[in-house]
Amino acid sequence: MTRRHPVGTAVRSALTEQPDLHMFCTYQQPDLVDLFGPDRMVRLPIAENAMVGMAVGMALVGRRVLVSIARVAFLFTAFDPLVNQATKWRYMSDGQFSVPLVIRGLTRGDEHLGAQHEHSAHSMLSQIPGLVVAVPSSPNSAAGLLATALRHPDPVVVLESPRLYTPDWADLPEPEATPAPLPFGVAGRALAGRDLTLVGIGNTVALCLRAARRLAGHGLRCQVVDLRTAAPLDRDGTAGLVAGAGPVVLVDEEPRASSLLCDLGLHLVQVGAVEPDRLAFVCGAAVPAPASPVLLAPLLPTVDDVVGSALALTRRRYAATGGTSTAGSH
């Protein structure tokens, strides 16, 4: 995170505007310590259970805490204070207590750090009642979701891909033009189109945008939907976006058996937004992430996978209606 990065700007703005906001981290940025002091910028050992436990206690007595952990994999060691404490106090106290806690953690993205460091956990975390799970797809959406999280009264986990901090991001598709607070539970349209809809979350939104470019060469105008949050999941809003916008391809780096996009796909069919035979999934493999780039590449969705699924759906549609597909004719 640098001074020019939208996420850094969001953090500094929140620290400036909210004197009760504290930040727990294992590495202190000197400029933030100079601006806000060591009492608010608290450096702690690499002990995630203790970090989250302390943050829950501070939040219960009226402070707001931002916990920055290196990897979402390390959040698993802090499940007791997160799952059994932070997300339960509002319910157990009948609303008398809230836990304004935000946890940031890196997921996976071109670093090849191996099975113990690279996790995609948004579906797992979305099963915890009382927890908001934000999954940004771009630097601007990360800043917007974090800005909202730092005003939210309840626990939020923000799952950030390392790809959001690569220096060549300007060369990648950008779903939002300018950083602005983004509401939870509201999917966004990253690209307009009416022939086909690609739905992604986190890393797969940029993947869908690249696939849409490729599909444009086949004469298909693709809509791309960015889910933004895994919990709350915008089922109805997504249904409204995809209705009448052609076949739907749902794309997730997580395994299909556990992906929340399966639940979303079921909802889209149940409400009549899409027919079952016009729906496809492109998901990751159910294996730990290998450190080798050669071994990892076949396990994650690719642009070719998305394009292939989209073209198959389109051809199936035209074959069923007896028409002639424009796919592949340009």
- Which sequence positions are flagged as catalytic? 117
| Closest to 198 measured CA to CA, from 131, 149, 162, 246 | 246
Residues whose CB is less than 8 angstroms from the CB of residue 243 and which lie 6 or more positions away in sequence, other chains included: 272, 273, 274
| Closest to 200 measured CA to CA, from 241, 146, 156, 148 | 241
**Virtual CA dihedral for 152, 154, 159, 165, nearest 10 degrees?**
30
CA–CA separation, 303 vs 178, rounded Å?
A: 26
Phi, psi of 67, deg, nearest 5: -105, 125
| Closest to 40 measured CA to CA, from 23, 26, 65 | 23
Residue 73 vs residues 9, 142, 256: alpha-carbon distances, Å: 26, 19, 20
Count of positions (residues) in the chain: 330
